[in-house]
A and B are shown apart, each in its own frame.
Chain A
Amino acid sequence: MDLLVTTFLKIVFMLVLVIGLVPVLIWAERKGSAMIQDRIGPNRASVAGIRLGGLVHPIADVMKLLFKEDVRPANVHGFFYALAPFVVFFVALLTYAVIPFGDYLEIGGKRIPLVVADLNVGILYVLAIASLGTYGVVMAGWASNNKYAFLGAMRSTSQMISYEISMGLSIMGLLLIFESLRLTDIVAGQGDLILGFLPKWGVVIQPVGALLFITAIFAETNRTPFDLPEGESELVCGYHVEYSSMKFALFYMAEYANLVIGAALIATLFFGGWNIPWLSRGIIEGNAGTLLPLAMILQALFAGVVALLFFRRSVRERNKFGDARDREPGFLGTVFALMCAGSLAGFALQPWNVGPQAASVFATLLQVGAFVGKVVFFCWLFVWVRWTLPRFRYDQLMNLGWKIMLPIALANLVITAVWVALI
């Protein structure tokens, strides 16, 4: 019964992380592109004058998509047309089951491993689900009965097949070194230090593999510079051109969910997962009495400074707009002031003499925070690259996949195998 409850809670945590990151990512994409292209970006939608720098726009989008009419073109293949968005979204969410988001959580003497399903073939499961991801796209393109959609689906399939091989091969070197297919083992193995100072992250011991894997993930998620299946300028928008309303929203959400999973995989396999470099679990638990007050002070300082800045703006720009938007700086200042007060109130609990129980929970929270932080950083990397690099031509894409990445991945695998055999 305990197992059922904890598994359910872990699934809920993962779903909240993923689905919660989707609107934030859509916001980051718009605001980030605006920043990179020297524009202002979304700043119009507001709730009672509160705009949160455009963060209200995704909420407005969701409302719009929910209430839009679901237009179904006349000549589509009904069953597959309706099935495709569900397949895409379902497959996008499946992979989260095997990604460890923390070491373990100790409550009442019981250790709960922080991974939904700790499969001993975890990494193969990830590859298997990734290979299923093509079907939704193919079905959508074919069932739409539209030449643009069909071309987009064909491109997507050939692209995914081509880059799946490099993706699989680029991980093999890592598997040889950590001698396990289990993701929790791979993450735990990355907690060590090489020569006492270099974290044994995948990117340190397999730099070529990391580069190939990140490139292949970009291709698998159909992100720029590999977004030929969508290719707005030539294919309108590819396989989901005939979809509207919530069906379109599912495609859109799946795209960003795939992006989060890609970021989580990069972080897990090559950037230490939940490991914090130089701060192993033992060190955190031993020094919780210093680290916890330090974290509180830093948080209070940060929130206090931000609150002061907002209050200053609310005084200076008292009547800038002459409507509800003038209330925003005051509101945000109050929120941050409350955060600051909350952190300071934490000192009433005497964080400098925490028990081992609380220290363990604190260490777990720090590790989960490190994992989420890494995921958010790699999500931002996806956005960053999208607005920096132009799209490939189709023959360049195929050349890169088959003639450059595949031989490099093979060579990397052979060299790693020889290295592992010799040592």
Chain B
Amino acid sequence: METFLFYLFAGLMLGSAVMTISSRSAVSAAVWLIFSFVNAAGVFALLAAPFLAILQILIYAGAIMVLFLFVIMMLQGPVLPAERERRSLWKILLLGAPAAAIAVTLISWLSQSGLTAFAVAAPETAGTAERVAELLLNRYLLAFELISIVLLVAIIGALALGRKEEDLPWQ
């Protein structure tokens, strides 16, 4: 059952990722990306990391992509479906085939050299909110606080850039 679910989520995630980069309209690309994020959350949940799964939906699929869609729709406005163009399949193949070949080579090389070496056996409770909080607020406290400050600076910078010149306090 778990294997089946893993392949289901992973397949849907990859499929919608492909749809994201290949769709013409920016809005459909964004919607496919959201679907991809939701499926990534499914994979996280299967890996016994429920906290990460929920945060994936809450932050990426919920908050960030809403703003993406918001901006895309604001700038683009209502779009007619008539402008859809025929995709040239051979171009996709030309670009995609080498990438796929590299990926398949890598995977086969990894599986021959013992893929299990990369998988770290994590206890079932490793992904819960308590464990994550414990690590974040003890061992990685400094990094966590530094990231918070960077984000704060970024927010203030964005606000300063977004305002009109004459509104700035030093003008």
Contact = CB atoms under 8 A, between A and B. Distances in A.
B127 to A, nearest CB: 10
The A interface, classified by DSSP as helix, strand, loop or mixed, is helix
B51 to A, nearest CB: 5
Nearest to A181: B129
Contacts, number: 80
A78 B28 CA distance: 12
A244 B55 CA distance: 36
Interface of B: 27-28, 31, 34, 50-51, 54-55, 57-58, 61-63, 66-67, 69-70, 73-74, 77-81, 128-129
A414 interface: no
A415 interface: no
5 contacts: A120-B129, A132-B57, A134-B66, A135-B31, A138-B70
A119 to B, nearest CB: 6
Contacts of B55: 124
Interface residues on A, range: 20 to 34
B63 A131 contact: yes
A157 interface: yes
Interface of A: 75-80, 119-121, 124-125, 127-129, 131-132, 134-135, 138-139, 142, 144-147, 150, 153-154, 157-158, 160-161, 164, 181
Given A80-B31, A142-B78, A157-B66, A119 B50 contact: yes
A138 B54 contact: no
Given A80-B27, A131-B58, A142-B78, A154 B70 contact: yes
B51 A142 contact: no
A91 to B, nearest CB: 11
B129 A139 contact: no
B81 A125 contact: no
A164 B50 CA distance: 21
A233 to B, nearest CB: 22
A143 B73 CA distance: 10
